[in-house]
Amino acid sequence: MKEIIVSSGFLAASFFAVALVSADQTDKEFEEMLESSLRSKGIVKAEEVLAQDEVQKQCSTSGVTSAEDMKAILDSQLATIVYPNDGKYLGDWKAGEKIAQSGKGRRFNDKPDTVNGGNCYACHQISKDELAYGTIGPSLYQYGKIRGNSEEMIKYTWAKIFNAQAFVPCSYMPRYGHKGILSEQQMKDLMALLFDPESPTNK
């Protein structure tokens, strides 16, 4: 019986080792296939698409597997938040609505000077009059009306738009400020869309 136990343990360990090697080999093969399949076109460069920072690499591989992982990601991403130098957070909600509606920018058929949009409606309901919107993210309809406009809420919302992973590790939401997708003024305009009482968001 002892011999069988030892043999079983050896087989289990061997299988585990083979599984690890196979997983590593599969990852390597996938990376090679990805690199050979993608090609640059227009303003989209393959090397930029494939490039990942440390958080992206973790979220693409092991993900968040412990409280320590979560804290490390939250702390590192919170440290990236940059608040407006002038202390003003709200711009023009009408401009913000256009940004929220636009999915332009960073596509292979866009011109280099194309202004990026936020494509916010792809994941959120923002206005009750919008016929089509995504549901990956929560509804933002009546965002300011429900939550108020305290300094704490204003700063939280700014930080969430700037880098959502400062609050939700491996969030699907683009890191608009941290990755330079939207300018500071564009973020202010989106903030106005969320908080201005005259915005259709709060009607």
The answer to whether position 82 is within a domain reads no
Q: Are 95 and 199 in contact (CB under 8 A)?
A: no
Judge if 106 and 188 occupy the same domain: yes
Query: Per-residue pLDDT tens for 29-86?
Result: 877 887 788 889 898 888 888 889 999 999 988 889 999 999 999 999 999 999 999 9
Whether 84 is in a domain gets the answer no
User: Which residue in this structure is represented by tokens 């968040």?
Assistant: 64
* Position 101 pLDDT exceeds 90: yes
What was the pLDDT predicted at 174? 97
pLDDT for 154-175, tens place per residue?
999 999 999 999 999 999 999 9
Is 85 a domain residue? no
End-to-end CA distance of the chain: 75
Residue 97 shares a structural domain with residue 196: yes
What is the per-residue pLDDT for 16? 40
Give the DSSP H or E segment for 136. none
In a domain? residue 77: no
Q: Taking a C-beta distance cutoff of 8 angstroms, is the pair 109, 42 a contact?
A: yes
**Which residues contact residue 155 at a Cβ distance below 8 angstroms, ignoring those fewer than 6 apart?**
83, 89
Give the pLDDT score at 30: 72
Are residue 102 and residue 198 in the same domain, yes or no?
yes
Shared domain check, 99 and 198:
yes
Q: Are residues 38 and 101 in the same domain?
A: no
Q: Could you tell me which residue, 16 or 162, shows the higher pLDDT?
A: 162
Instruction: Report if residue 186 sits inside a domain.
Output: yes
DSSP state of 179: T
Quick one: 175 and 116 in the same domain?
yes
Residue 15 has pLDDT above 80, yes or no: no
Q: What is the CA radius of gyration of the chain?
A: 22
pLDDT at 12: 44
Domain extent at residue 45: 2-64
* Total structural domains within the chain: 2
Q: Are residues 175 and 136 in the same domain?
A: yes
Dist. CA 193–CA 130, nearest whole Å: 14
